[in-house]
Amino acid sequence: MRILVISDIHSNSVALEAIREKFDICFCLGDLVDYGPDPAKCVQWIIDNKAEVVRGNHDHGTAHSVAVVGDTGFRYLTSVTRPLQWSALDTNQRKFLARLPITKRVVVDGVRYLLVHGTPRDPLDEYLRKDPAAWAEQVKELEVDVVCVGHSHLQFDLDAGGVRILNPGSVGLPRDSDPRAAYAIIENGKIQNIQLKRIPYDIQKAIAMNDALPLPDEAKAMYRTCLTNGRLRPPVAPESKSAVAERSA
């Protein structure tokens, strides 16, 4: 049994379709929509591939038309893209998002998995990064072997008191300074065979699709930066020694 684990697609069908792995089952950890240009194709991919999928905070917000107020960062990007997400989805796709569970337990080849977008304590909204002690506190009474999570857009695989915590990273909008699409593979259904993977894709095609939408120029520039640099803001070039010395003089 080969398991593909994906999360945080964020309407980036170009990145999603670049993942050509063979798999028997797909775990999707939420946030299919918002930010990107092609929500319908991303949602339909999950439906067509019969993925075991849970609801992310952006899936919840889009499905229920939750307005977002914000003029900076990702809140701004969400606020201007969400109305377009809703209109791009058909009735069945909207219902699919609205009915997604917030957690799901799956047993594959005797391995007990818990799927959740954020954390077991707060499935939609809590961020918990690569912190084994914090994760161990959350999962100590869950009676599972692997907890698969998304939300942070950061790829990691760690042991938390005997429970494996797997975050495959973000397919469509990485935030770890690596713009390649991120995902994970579990070979033969064995937790000893978890592989964290990255794959390049046609970023310029995704940017062009987004540029064609009726969005403010600021939002288009922000999306372009995110996809190109794998983060919201471009990296700052280190100052030369001469520049530092000149400023200090």
Reported residue count of the chain is: 249
In whole angstroms, what is the distance from residue 172 CA to residue 202 CA? 11
In-domain check, residue 61: yes
pTM over 0.85: yes
In-domain check, residue 156: no
Domain that holds residue 15: 3-101+171-248
Dump pLDDT digits (tens) for 197-218. 999 999 999 999 999 999 999 9
In-domain check, residue 96: yes
Contact between 173 and 207 under an 8 Å Cβ cutoff? The reply is: no
Q: At what angle do helices 203-211 and 217-229 cross, to 10 degrees?
A: 170
Residue type at 201 in one-letter notation: Y
Provide φ and ψ at 25, rounded to 5°.
-150, 145
In-domain check, residue 129: no
Cβ neighbours for 58, distance < 8 A, ≥ 6 positions apart? 10, 30, 31, 32, 33, 34, 35, 78
* Domain CATH code at residue 11: 3.60.21.10
In-domain check, residue 127: no
In-domain check, residue 144: no
In-domain check, residue 153: no
Dump pLDDT digits (tens) for 151-174. 999 999 999 999 999 999 999 999
In-domain check, residue 137: no
pLDDT of the residue at 192: 76
Q: What's the domain count of the chain?
A: 1
Residues of the chain with pLDDT under 70: 189-190, 234-249
